[in-house]
Structure 1
Amino acid sequence: MTGNEKILQYLSAVPAWYLATSVDDQPHVRPFSFAAEQDGKIWFCTATTKDVWDELVANPKFEATAWWPGHGWLILRGRAGLEDRVNDDIRYAGFAHLSGLGETYDGPNDPTLTFFSVEEPQAWICNHEEWVPVEL
């Protein structure tokens, strides 16, 4: 299993995971629940109308974490690649996922729907005894 596959396994095994940003020395944390892989990179979905997007534009560094009961937790650190280059399949999957959560968009090509990649990723799988780096 590749490092990206392991990360996606953790992120998809739980109903929500948490992404943290920091702007003006103030951390912001919110739940996320969509992740996909394309071209060897992990991609997340959000909207340009959300605070998280403005925060990533101001400071693209972020950290995400997911706790998978019985497996420990994942820590994923990176920089948001803000150039949306996902393929149509991922765009539709992200649109369908967010629509299923009750968000409203004018289809998968709605200009407010955007995807960002995880650049310069670092990841660890942790339990109460050790932190194991994920080879990326």
Structure 2
Amino acid sequence: MASKRQMYDFLSKNPFGFLATVSPEGPRVRPFMFQFEDQGCPLFCLSNDKEVFRQLKEDPRCEVAFCSPDWSVTLRIRGVAEFFPGLEQKSRILEGNETLKDMYKTPDNPLFEVFRLTQWEAFFWDFSGKKDPVEK
């Protein structure tokens, strides 16, 4: 069994993944970036004028997949998107990401949203097909 620390270390080194949501038309996948661990949960951000925001509000169940640079290890995290005001988290995000700072400018930007993946379960996979669950 992999530890939670191993999961967050992997995410810190490989923060770009793909988030899958459910829409009336079927599954939808798009690139997404892990921000940091917050209250034991993976934290993400987005703009509330995007389709993905509406999809997660309608059905907060989602999954995110991340890969090592050589694609030999995959981490998948399934959970429930929990939105919250998160001014402290938004400030931290903007301090560490110039692209997002240029986009949102300030933590109180009305378009800027954060969510944690709660009720999450995560698994590592490698080329051998070995599935290694992450302890909570």
Give TM class, smaller chain: 0.7 to 0.9
Q: State the distance in 1 between where 2:96 and 2:25 align.
A: 31
Spell out, residue by residue over 1:67-106, the C-alpha distance to the aligned partner (whole angstroms, 9 max, x if none).
1135611010011112x15352x21232345651585224
Structure 1 residue 25: deviation in Å?
4.8
2:75, 2:124 within 8 Å by CA — same for their partners in 1? yes
1:94-113 matches, cutoff 5 A: 94-96=93-95, 99-100=98-99, 104-113=103-112
Do the aligned partners of residues 97 and 59 (structure 1) sit closer, same or farther apart at CA in structure 2, a change above 3 Å counting? farther
The corresponding residue for 1:118 is 117
Mean alpha-carbon deviation: is it higher for 120-129 or for 61-70?
61-70
Report how many aligned residue pairs link the two structures: 133
> 1:19 corresponds to which residue?
19
Aligned to 1:132: 132
Q: Secondary structure at the match of 1:104?
A: helix
Matched position secondary structure for 1:111: coil
Structure 1 residue runs of 5 or longer lacking an equivalent are none
Amino acid across the alignment from 1:72 = V
Q: What aligned pairs does 1:53-92 form with structure 2 within 5 A after superposition?
A: 53-69=53-69, 72-82=73-83, 84-86=84-86, 88=88, 90-92=89-91
Tell me the distance in 1 between the aligned counterparts of 2:32 and 2:95. Answer: 14
The Cα shift of 1:8 comes to 2.5
Mapping 1:33-48, distance limit 5 Å: 33-48=33-48
AA of the residue aligned to 1:75: R
Q: Which runs of 4+ in 1 moved over 4 A?
A: 96-99
Return the letter of the residue paired with 1:123: A
| Fraction of identical pairs, as percent | 26
Residue 31 (str. 1) matches residue 31 (str. 2): yes
Compute the TM-score of the two structures, normalised by the length of structure 1: 0.83
Contact 1:95 1:113 in 2 (8 A): no
The range that moved more, 22-31 or 115-124, is 22-31
Contact 2:15 2:66 in 1 (8 A): no
| AA partner of residue 100 (structure 1) | T
The one-letter code matched in structure 2 to 1:54 is R
Would the alpha carbon gap of residues 59 and 97 (structure 1) be closer, same or farther in structure 2, given more than 3 Å must change? farther
Q: CA RMSD in A?
A: 2.3
Residue identity matched to 2:50: K
